[in-house]
Amino acid sequence: DGGITQSPKYLFRKEGQNVTLSCEQNLNHDAMYWYRQDPGQGLRLIYYSQIVNDFQKGDIAEGYSVSREKKESFPLTVTSAQKNPTAFYLCASSPMAGADTEAFFGQGTRLTVV
């Protein structure tokens, strides 16, 4: 079955440690996105990528980094520079970057930093 997979579902880390969240899709989609979701804040865009080896910052990129070495993979690293990393992280993909196509979301990773 085609889809978008995020792992792990729950992640715990100590403060000051970097952590990488996985996002894989087998939909052959060009565009991939990372959003952060906090209670009452909606979905806020962290980074997005239109093609392999290219990505752009979203609204809240500080303290995060990404890579897009393969079309199907778009991992997100939450660095120690992120002041408030505890949140629900959602990865999404779409056939092409742009407004005419729907985004498919993964099930999310809930990150807790203690």
Q: Which residues bind to another protein, rule: CB under 8 A?
A: 31, 33, 35, 40-45, 48, 50, 56, 58-59, 90, 97-108
Question: What's the closest the beta carbon of residue 41 comes to another protein, in angstroms?
Answer: 6
Compare residues 48 and 113 and give the one whose CB is closer to another protein: 48
Compare residues 69 and 100 and give the one whose CB is closer to another protein: 100
How far is the C-alpha of 47 from the C-alpha of 71, rounded, in Å?
15
Compare residues 90 and 113 and give the one whose CB is closer to another protein: 90
Sheet holding 19-25, edge to edge: 4-7, 19-25, 76-78, 64-66
Question: What's the closest the beta carbon of residue 52 comes to another protein, in angstroms?
Answer: 15
Question: What's the closest the beta carbon of residue 106 comes to another protein, in angstroms?
Answer: 6
Compare residues 13 and 44 and give the one whose CB is closer to another protein: 44
Question: What's the closest the beta carbon of residue 102 comes to another protein, in angstroms?
Answer: 4
What size, in residues, is the chain? 114
DSSP string, 14-39: -TT--EEEEEEE-S--SEEEEEEEET
Would you say 16 and 105 are in contact if contact means Cβ atoms under 8 Å apart?
Answer: no
Would you say 70 and 52 are in contact if contact means Cβ atoms under 8 Å apart?
Answer: yes
